[in-house]
Amino acid sequence: MREIFKYTEDYLKKTEKRRNNMYVCPKCSKPIAAIRPFVEYSLFCMSCQKIGNLFELVRLFEKDKNYLTDEEIEQYLKEFLKLDITTEIEIDNALDFYEKNGFDLVPIIKNGKIPIEKEWTTKEHKNKKEWKDWLNNGLNIGIKTGKCSNVIVIDFDGEIPEELSKSNTLKQKTKNGMHFFFRYDSDLPKTRIDKLKIDIENNGGQVVAYPSIVEDCKRTINLEEISELPNDWKKFILSKINKRTTLNLEEEKKFEINEDFHEDLIKEGNRHHIMMSLGGILRRKLNMYDTTFVLDILNKKLSSPSMSRIEFDNIVKSLEKYTSYDDVEIAKKILDYIRRCPDQEATAADIQFGLYLKKAEVDKTLGYLLKEEYIIKKNRTFHLLQKVDWRDTFMGESNPIKFKMPYFHDSATFRDGDMLVIGAKAKVGKTHIAMNIIKRLVAQGIKPYYACLESGSRFPIISQSLALKEGDYWNSLKFKPESSELKENSITIIDWLLPGDYANTDKIFAHLSNQLIRFGGLLIVFVQIRDSNAEFFAKDMVAFFPSFVCKYLYNDDSDGSTGYFKIEYMRESVDNRKKLSIPCKYDMFSKELKRLDEIGD
C-alpha cells in the first residue's frame, strides 16, 4: 500500500468533506461514506459502495486534477497537506541520479544496514528497474563504494568540521551524521578513525542510501554533482590513519597478553548453533548493536577457527528476525491481557505489572499496536479495537449474506454491511420480534449479538419460551449505540433505540454506519414510531442510512395476535417492488411469530 493513503482522512478533513462521523460521497454527495483502513483507506459509500483510494478521491473531488497521474497527485498531496513523506517522483529523481553517475547498488535488509546478498562485493547491480523492485519489496539500498561506483564516502558520526561541511559535493544526512561523497581515490583505505568518528568507505564497502529507512529514520540527500576530495583533506586523513593503526595494535596486544582466552572453546561443528543461542540470550538484555559487538569478540577470541565475515553477518541477520518475532509475541500477550480485563481496557501500568514486562517493552509495543490500529487510547487507558485475526476473517466487500434473513429473505437482497431498521409502536412487542429473529438465526447456526437497551426487559423469559438456551446468542445490557463497537462480520440486533436518543439520532446512525462499513456484518435496529400516525421520529435519518426499512403493525381489529411487516424501503428488492406487506400471526402459547404463508391449513 502507498504510504500516502494513510492521509486520506487528513485530505477529507482539510477539504471539509466531514459531517458528523461520516464523509461526503463524491458520487451521490450525501454524507454517508466512511474510510476502510484495511482496504487501502478507500472510501466506501452506504449507497454507491466502493468509491476508491485517495488518488481517485482527488480526481473525483477536484475536477482540474482529473488527468493527473497517481505520482503527480501524490506530489500535489505532499505539498497540500505538508506531509513528511517520500514520493515516487522524488524516488525516481534520486535513482536517475544514481544511474547517471554509474553507481553500483546492493540490496540491504529492511530497516537496517546489512547487505542481503552473499558475496555482495563481487556482484554488480546498475539497473534502475532492479533497484525499484528492491524498494517496492520493502528493502533498503546501499551504494557500493570504491572503483565500481567511482566514489569514496567519508562518513561522519559526530561533529563535522566547518571546512568540510561547506564543500560542494553529494551529501547524505543520516540519523546522527553525514555522508560526503567524493570521486574515487585509490590512495585512501577503507577504515575507521575512531578519534574523529570518521569511517572511510572505499573498495569493499557500501553506504545505505536514500530513500532507505534505517532504524525507522529517513535519510535525505542533496543530489549535487560529486567533486574530487580536496587535497588538504586527503593529507589530513592519511596522517590520522597511520597514527591510529599503531595505537590499536598496542591496545590489541595488551588485550591478548593479559587475558587468558580459551581460543578453541567454540569448535567449528557447533559454532553456528552456539552463536545463535548466545545471541538470543544476549538480545534479551542488549540491543542489536551491543549483541553484535559481544558476538564479534566471541567469534574472534573463542572460536577455532573464527567464522567468516559472511557467516557472521548471516547470524546477525537471523538474530534481527528472531527479535521482531519476540515483539510479536509480546504484542499478542498484551492484546490477550486487555481482552481479559473488565470492559476490555487497561492502563500501561496494569499491563506492565500484570504481565511482568519492562516499561520500555510495554511502551514500545503499545506504540506499535496503536499505530497498527489494534487498540485505541482514551485518556490513560488502552481499549481493544478489534481482534488480532481481523484481517484473516475479513469478508470481501459487499457480498450478499450467506444465510436467510428471517421474514425478509424473499423480499430483498441483503449484503455484508447492511443496516435494517424495524419500527414499531410503544406497546408492540419489539422484544418478541427480536427474539423470533434470533431464534431463526440460531436455527441456521449463527450466534448473533443482542444489545438490550431497555431496562427491565423480559428478553430472558421470552427467550426461554422460544426454547433458546444459554450460549445460543451473545447479549449485553451495556451497549451504547452512540459509541460501542460492533463485532466484526457478525449480526447485531439493537432492541431498541430510546425516544430520548432521537436528538442524537444522526450521530448514532452515523456511528453505527461507520462501524458497519469498517467491520462488516449486519445490523438490525428496532426503533419506536409515533403512536398517532405510525411515522418514524427521525425520518431523515431513517431515509438515509439503512438499506431496508419496515414497520411491524397490528391489524386494526387485532388483539396483537395478527399483524404485518410493512416494508417501506428496500435498496435491493428481489422483484423490483418498492413496498410490500408480509402478514404474520403471533402464537400466544409458543411465542412464535410466523408469516401467514408459513402456516399450513
Binding site for Zn ion (CB under 5 A): 25, 27-28, 45, 47-48
Distance of CA 385 to the CA centre of its chain: 12
C-alpha span between 149 and 121 (Å, rounded): 12
**DSSP one-letter code for 577:** -
C-alpha span between 199 and 374 (Å, rounded): 42
Nearer residue to Zn ion within complex by CB, 46 or 401: 46
Name the residue with cell 540527500. 221
Q: How far is the CB of 13 from Zn ion (least distance, A)?
A: 19
Q: How far is the CB of 24 from Zn ion (least distance, A)?
A: 9
Nearer residue to Zn ion within complex by CB, 45 or 405: 45
Nearer residue to Zn ion within complex by CB, 537 or 569: 569
Bridge partners (DSSP) of residue 426 are: none
Q: How far is the CB of 23 from Zn ion (least distance, A)?
A: 10
Written as nine digits, the cell of 206 is: 557500501
Q: How far is the CB of 54 from Zn ion (least distance, A)?
A: 17
The residue type at 327: D
Q: How far is the CB of 512 from Zn ion (least distance, A)?
A: 17
**DSSP one-letter code for 227:** B
C-alpha span between 227 and 138 (Å, rounded): 31
Are the C-beta atoms of 159 and 195 separated by less than 8 Å? no
Closest to 519 in 3D by CA, of 498, 555, 491, 545? 491
Q: How far is the CB of 544 from Zn ion (least distance, A)?
A: 11
User: What is each CA distance from 183 to 123, 146, 374, 450, 559, in whole angstroms?
Assistant: 21, 9, 49, 72, 97
Q: How far is the CB of 417 from Zn ion (least distance, A)?
A: 13
Nearer residue to Zn ion within complex by CB, 28 or 370: 28
Are the C-beta atoms of 20 and 28 separated by less than 8 Å? no
Nearer residue to Zn ion within complex by CB, 48 or 278: 48
Q: How far is the CB of 26 from Zn ion (least distance, A)?
A: 8
C-alpha span between 481 and 215 (Å, rounded): 42
Nearer residue to Zn ion within complex by CB, 134 or 544: 544
Nearer residue to Zn ion within complex by CB, 25 or 106: 25
Q: What is the DSSP string of 19-68?
A: ETTEE--TTT--S-EEEETTTTTEEEETTTEEEE-HHHHHHHH-GGGTT-
Nearer residue to Zn ion within complex by CB, 330 or 542: 542
Nearer residue to Zn ion within complex by CB, 542 or 580: 542
Q: How far is the CB of 570 from Zn ion (least distance, A)?
A: 18
Are the C-beta atoms of 183 and 228 separated by less than 8 Å? yes
Q: How far is the CB of 33 from Zn ion (least distance, A)?
A: 6
Q: How far is the CB of 43 from Zn ion (least distance, A)?
A: 9
C-alpha span between 532 and 316 (Å, rounded): 77
Q: Which helix (H) or strand (E) holds 153?
A: strand 151-156
The helix/strand/coil state of 304 is: strand
User: What is each CA distance from 581 to 189, 404, 568, in whole angstroms?
Assistant: 89, 18, 9
Nearer residue to Zn ion within complex by CB, 46 or 295: 46
Q: How far is the CB of 49 from Zn ion (least distance, A)?
A: 8
Within 8 A by CB and 6+ apart from 174, the residues are 155, 214, 217, 219
Each as own residue / partner, the long-range contacts of residues 376-382 (CB below 8 Å, 24 or more positions apart, any chain) are 378/345, 380/347, 380/348, 381/345, 381/346, 381/347, 382/338, 382/345, 382/346, 382/347, 382/348, 382/351
Written as nine digits, the cell of 582 is: 408480509
Nearer residue to Zn ion within complex by CB, 15 or 344: 15
Nearer residue to Zn ion within complex by CB, 24 or 593: 24
Nearer residue to Zn ion within complex by CB, 47 or 121: 47
Q: How far is the CB of 545 from Zn ion (least distance, A)?
A: 12
